[in-house]
Amino acid sequence: MMLKSNLENLLDWSKSHGAYFENVEFAFDKDRGVYGILKHEVNLDEPLIIVPEALFITPEMATKVFGLDEPVEALSLLLLAKLKFDRKETLINGYSLSKMFEPYIAFLPNSCSEIGLPLFWTDREQELLKGTDAYPRLEQKRKELHKEWSSLMSLLDEHNKLDLVTKETTQGKGIVSWKSFEAYAWAHSIYCTRAFPNFLREQSERNLNIGFLCPIVDLLNHKNGEKVTWTCADNSFVFRASPKCIRRGEEVYNNYGDKSNTELLLNYGFVLDDNESETTALTLKVEEKVIEAGINFGLKLPLGASANGISFNISLATPLPNELLRFMGFLHQLKSEKNQYTLRMHLEGISKLRDILVSRIATFKTWKAEEHANTNKKVMELVKRYRSSQKSLFQRACQSCDSTEKSLIQKYKPLTLQRALKSDSEFEKCLTLIFGTNKVNEIEKKGLSDQVLLLFIVRCKNRELSRDSPLRFIRETYENVSTTIEITREDVVEYSDLYHSLFPYLSQKIPEVFAAGDYSAKSMIIAGTVVDRIVFKRNVNGELYLLQKIILD
Ligand SMILES: C[S@@+](CC[C@H](N)C(=O)[O-])C[C@H]1O[C@@H](n2cnc3c(N)ncnc32)[C@H](O)[C@@H]1O
C-alpha cells in the first residue's frame, strides 16, 4: 500500500534534483492510485513536467553495475530487483545508486499483487479469463518471463559476475532475494507499467523492448487519444500535454499508446470502457492443405496462419476484415465455382461466419460472474469489464455480417423463392394441395423446403419458359449439372425415401403438372445439386433465395 509520505518524499527528492512540475499537483486515491491534476492553465507548448536525466534508471547503469561489456536486454530489470531487494548497496565506481534512488524505490508498489498484472493473479483468478484473448497469452508470457530470468542468471554466472553460483529463490520467510524469480517478476511488473522506450533518449537504440525509468512522468495515468508529447532534450525528459484537452483542476493524462483492452489488461492491469482501439482475434482452424489451396487461390491470410489456427483481427474500426470474409467465402466454394469468387460463396461465407460469431457471443453470455464467488472484487470487476468489451466486438462483427448481407441483397436483388413461385401459379396451387400451404415461411416451418425446391427446379426444367423468364437460369443450371453429374449409389440411396414419399403419388394426383415431363429419381438427384449451386438461405429472416451465378472480383 502506498504511503502518502512516500509520495511526498518522492516529489521532494525529484525537485531537489531539478525536476520541474510547477503546474501539476499529484494526488492519491485508493481506487485510482496516484494521478496528476492541472494546477494552473499553461500556454500552448509549455512543458508540464521536466525530469533531468540524473533521475533516470537506464540500461547503461545496469551494464555497468553487472560489469558487462555490452547491453543485455532485461538486465535493467535485474538492476531494479537489486535496488529493491538487495540489502547490500548497489554501486557504480563508488557512487551509490541505492542511496540515490531510495525515495523512488520506496515509492514504488511493493509487490506484484499490488501492481495487479493478470500474470501474477492466482490460478483461479486467471481462469476467469478463459475464452478471452488474454488467457492463452498468460501461459506464453509466464514461460517467456521465466526463460528470460533463467538465461540472464546463466549469462551472469558464465561471466563470473557476482556470486550467482546458485539460483536463489526466497531467503527465508518474507525476505525475497534480489536474484530470485519473485524479485525479477516484481521488476518486470514495474517496467511493464512504468518504463519508457529507450530509443527516446538513445537514437541508436534498435531494440524496442529496452526501456528506462523516468520518475514523476510515470505518475500519470493513461487515456487513449490524449495528445501528449515526450521529448528527450538538453539531458532531460520533457512532457507536454495539449492545453486544449485539459483545464485547471482536471486530471493530466499521459498516453501510453492507443492500446486494446487485451494489451492494457496484460501490461498495465486495467481496461477502458468504450475503448476505440479495442481489438480481438477470431481464430479459425483448417487443415494445412486448405491453407495452401487458399493461398493458391489468391487469399491474403494473416501472418502466422497455420494448421494450428488462423487469427483474424477484429477491431471496432474494421469489425469484418475483408480477408476474413474472403476466407469464409473460399471455404464454401463449390467445384463448379473453381477459380471463381461468386456472390453465392460470399453470402454463404458471411452466413457461416455469423454462426461462428453467434456461438462465440453465446459463450460470453453464458459466463456468469456469480458462479465465481469469493473472488477478489477488483479482479472480478476488471474481468467483467474486459469480457464485456470482447463480447461487444463479436456483437459488432455479427451486426456487420447482417448489414453486409443486407446491402448485397439490396445490390444484387436475387430472386426469392416466394417470388419465383408466384411466377408459376399452377405449381403454386399444387403446393396448397400437396402440403396444405403455398407460403414459403410456412413451408420452411414445416421442414418441407427441400421437397418444394427439388420439385420446383425439376418443374422449371420440364416446363415451357419464355426467353426472358426470370426462371431461365434455373433450367440452364439444371442442364449444366445434368451433363456433368456422375450419379453414385450413395446419391440414389440418399434420395430414395424422399422420392418415394412424392412419386408416383404426385403424378397420379396432379398429372397435369407431375406427369408432364421427366420427374424421375435421377431428375431429383440432379435438382439436389442445383439446390447446392443456387439456393441461399438468409439466417436473419429465413428467406430463401435462388441465385444466378454472379462472379465478384
Ligand atoms: C505509470 S503508472 C501511473 C501511476 C499510477 N496510478 C500509480 O499509482 O503509480 C501505470 C499504472 O496506473 C494505473 N492506471 C493508469 N491509467 C489508468 C486508467 N486510465 N485507469 C485505471 N488505472 C490506470 C494502472 O495500474 C497502471 O498499471
Task: Give the tens place of pLDDT for each residue, 75-107.
Answer: 999 999 999 999 999 999 999 999 999 999 999
Domains parsed from the chain with CATH numbers: 1-56+214-257 (2.170.270.10), 72-211 (no CATH), 279-412 (3.90.1420.10), 416-546 (no CATH)
Task: Give the tens place of pLDDT for each residue, 297-330.
Answer: 999 999 999 999 999 999 999 999 999 999 999 9
- What is d(CA 135, CA 146) in angstroms, rounded to the nearest whole number? 18
Kindly give the distance from the C-alpha atom of residue 110 to the centroid of ligand 1, in angstroms, as a whole number. 15
Q: Which of 330, 328, 351 is nearest to 542 (CA)?
A: 351
The atom of ligand 1 lying closest to the CA of 193 is 27
Task: Give one DSSP letter per residue of 124-170, joined into a string.
Answer: HHHHTTTTSSHHHHHHHHHHHHHHHHHHHHHHHHHTT-SS-SS---B
Kindly give the distance from the C-alpha atom of residue 33 to the centroid of ligand 1, in angstroms, as a whole number. 7
Task: Give the tens place of pLDDT for each residue, 425-459.
Answer: 999 999 999 999 999 999 999 999 999 999 999 99
Q: How far apart are the two ends of the chain, measured CA to CA in Å?
A: 61
**Pocket, ligand 1, Cβ cutoff 6 A:** 33-35, 193-194, 218-222, 268-270
Confidence (pLDDT) at 176: 82
Kindly give the distance from the C-alpha atom of residue 553 to the centroid of ligand 1, in angstroms, as a whole number. 48
Q: Is the pLDDT of residue 221 over 70?
A: yes
Rounded to two decimals, the pTM is 0.88
Kindly give the distance from the C-alpha atom of residue 255 to the centroid of ligand 1, in angstroms, as a whole number. 11
- What is d(CA 383, CA 387) in angstroms, rounded to the nearest whole number? 6
Which residue would you say has higher pLDDT here, 159 or 402? 402
Task: Give the tens place of pLDDT for each residue, 498-526.
Answer: 999 999 999 999 999 999 999 999 999 99
The atom of ligand 1 lying closest to the CA of 35 is 6
- What is d(CA 165, CA 150) in angstroms, rounded to the nearest whole number? 13
Mutate to test the pocket of ligand 1, among 1, 4, 32 (most ligand atoms within 8 A of CB): 32
Contacts of 112 (CB under 8 A, 6+ apart): 119, 120, 182, 185, 186, 189
Confidence (pLDDT) at 165: 38
- What is d(CA 218, CA 395) in angstroms, rounded to the nearest whole number? 36
Q: List the residue whose alpha carbon is closest to atom 27 of ligand 1.
A: 268
Per-residue pLDDT averaged across 195-212, rounded? 91
**Running DSSP on this structure, what letter comes out for residue 57?**
B
Q: Is the pLDDT of residue 133 over 70?
A: yes
What is this model's ipTM? 0.99
Kindly give the distance from the C-alpha atom of residue 222 to the centroid of ligand 1, in angstroms, as a whole number. 7
